[in-house]
A and B are shown apart, each in its own frame.
Chain A
């Protein structure tokens, strides 16, 4: 098999791994309310799991200074004053893993006050590991061919 054909084959396989549609598990959307405590420089809980389509209500309670919560990818945010509760509601209509982070300067480690929201399955992680596996196979085969 010529090296160019092999490369083409692996690139095609890579595209399939990266972009092929996956069967979607149909789960009835729910309304979820999640209480999150925010303090310098962490959220509790800091890892959230919801299903795609869920209506998510986050009640953010700040226990020390003013904190915010901004969800990457959804571009929605709230701010909570100390001792008060702020509420954010959005529909989790995009699947995947998203960081949520403080968007109000709250102290030195503010840029690293981060949590993680997973909507459905974090397919991109599995696709990426699949790509890494494919890349290794491709490289090993190409090395063996050269040898």
Chain B
């Protein structure tokens, strides 16, 4: 399938170049975000009746993992409200053309942090406390507020969107899985970028800001770190930026060589499996351990969680791909072949989320009418009875997602193996075994 340049269409081009449509969405999102924080703090402590839990962990999560990430990659990042207040503060403006004088400290993020290890750690921190986070409104509020203030704080110290790029726990996995999406932002003509003076897409100009994601669009080959903010479309003097519709997983043909990205795959894969067992499984002991933060059983749970992610999963993977004689270093092969785990991990999350979301979706109607759990009935849906949805198609849909992910990963493994001059079979067998475990956990 050839790429289709979506912004060849004048309507789309104008909508992307204008700041107003994006600002309108941003403001709606920001209002919703702040309301979620407030609802968690002042609303009912019953999670399933509080806007913060229902709209963040059921509605937003469903949209993110079932639609936004698979089909739009970093589409969520394009409208995420978290960096906004910090960015406005950093720029000293909401929409006005940039003032060249740097505001605040405007430091460059130290080189040792210019990777996604901090995002891996921030995701794991939330993951370890997820049973409390997903069910307790004020904890969700505190985390949402902390993310907002961290983004503001980092914007006053560092240049661009340091929070999004290096710390956001959600942005890390969205970036990883955005490589599979059928949307990309790329340049049209490399020579135009080579000859371009001043590189306004990266450095900014009188018509727009330099890339908030610290990416030079001329060098983009993967979606991972492009936040689809569309700023480069506004600043490019050569009209050289295209938003393309492309085949799924186009970026996976170029395997990663970075260990931070490789471990992100294991973190996401392992977390999905652990959540499927702990949250959706019938084992009460595991739920108790995950929920009672600070107890001895929680420390055991946290230890096992980390051991699976950093020991068992990468360890088995390493055993499978280990070869005494190979011209390519083991570390490089490990990173490269781990690319095959990206589609599988995403589909694990889709399968897990289907179960969680379909079972609890009816709470959305309740929380819509009574977002704080105070007895309101704004849209006459406050008394909607809890009812799981589409339970008859849940298991086939999960099988389809998991088996589809397995095929996708097997094909990706073959491409990555060709690059590494090795066999794809160990990776394919590894993916098959993990898929079988996930099927057992979910079905």
What residues make up the interface of A, taking CB atoms closer than 8 Å to B? 41-44, 46-47, 70, 72-73, 96-97, 99, 101, 103, 105, 108-116, 122, 124-125, 127-129, 131-133, 135-136, 138-140, 143
Contact = CB atoms under 8 A, between A and B. Distances in A.
Q: Which of A43, A44, A72, A97 has the most CB of B within 10 A?
A: A72
Contacts of B392: 73
12 contacts: A72-B391, A108-B47, A109-B287, A110-B47, A110-B135, A111-B47, A124-B443, A129-B439, A132-B439, A135-B410, A143-B410, A143-B424
Contacts, number: 111
Nearest to A47: B282
B136 A46 contact: no
Interface stretch (B25-33, B104-112, B230-238, B401-409): B401-409
A111 B47 CA distance: 9
Interface SS of B by simple majority: helix
Interface string B404-439: 001100110010000000001100100010011001
Contact of A114 (B49, B282, B396, B443): B282
Contacts of B391: 72-73
B60 interface: no
Interface in B349-404: 356, 359-360, 386, 388, 391-392, 395-396, 399, 402-403
B443 A139 contact: no
Q: Which of B281, B285, B396 has the most CB of A within 10 A?
A: B281
Q: Which of A46, A101, A139 has the most CB of B within 10 A?
A: A139
A132 B388 contact: no
A133 B432 CA distance: 8
A107 B400 CA distance: 33
- B: contact size bracket: 35 or more
Given A111-B359, A139-B411, 19 more contacts: A41-B284, A42-B283, A43-B284, A72-B359, A73-B392, A97-B443, A105-B48, A109-B291, A110-B47, A110-B48, A113-B287, A115-B282, A124-B399, A124-B443, A125-B440, A128-B399, A131-B403, A132-B439, A136-B428
B359 A136 contact: no
Contacts of B89: none
Given A105-B49, A109-B135, A122-B443, A72 B388 contact: yes
Given A108-B132, A108-B135, A139-B410, A125 B439 contact: yes
B350 to A, nearest CB: 15
Interface string B334-360: 000000000000000000000010011
B287 A42 contact: yes
Given A47-B282, A139-B410, A143-B424, A42 B288 contact: yes
Nearest to B57: A111
Contact of B403 (A108, A109, A128, A143): A128
